[in-house]
Amino acid sequence: MSTRLPNSAITLLVAILGVLGGCSNPVSDAKERYEIVQRTGDKQEICAKSRELAEAYLNQKDEEGYKDQKLTAAIECQSAELERRGS
């Protein structure tokens, strides 16, 4: 005897899979935003997005990514501060 799922169960399963398939990776999203701002933003914006990316690595518990991005953010934020003082 074969077992068939009711249409409502199939619909629910398809909806759940669609939602799960659409789930994004917070680090990838932050990295994309950071790269866009690197190409189009000013130094203050780059500093902010660099810090957000470091935070995303931290939230994902990626210690190496966090350490590397934290150092990058420190450099970019220092550059932004020097530019602000020079203006």
Domains in the chain, number: 1
Q: Is residue 50 part of a domain?
A: yes
Q: Is residue 31 part of a domain?
A: yes
d(CA 42, CA 37): 8
Structure pTM? 0.72
Q: In 10 A of CB 37, how many CB atoms?
A: 20
Q: Is residue 64 part of a domain?
A: yes
Q: Is residue 11 part of a domain?
A: no
What residue spans of the chain are helical by DSSP H? 7-22, 26-40, 43-59, 63-86
Domain span at 31: 25-86
- Does residue 21 have a pLDDT over 80? no
Instruction: Give the model confidence (pLDDT) of 46-80 as tens digits.
Output: 999 999 999 999 999 999 999 999 999 999 999 99
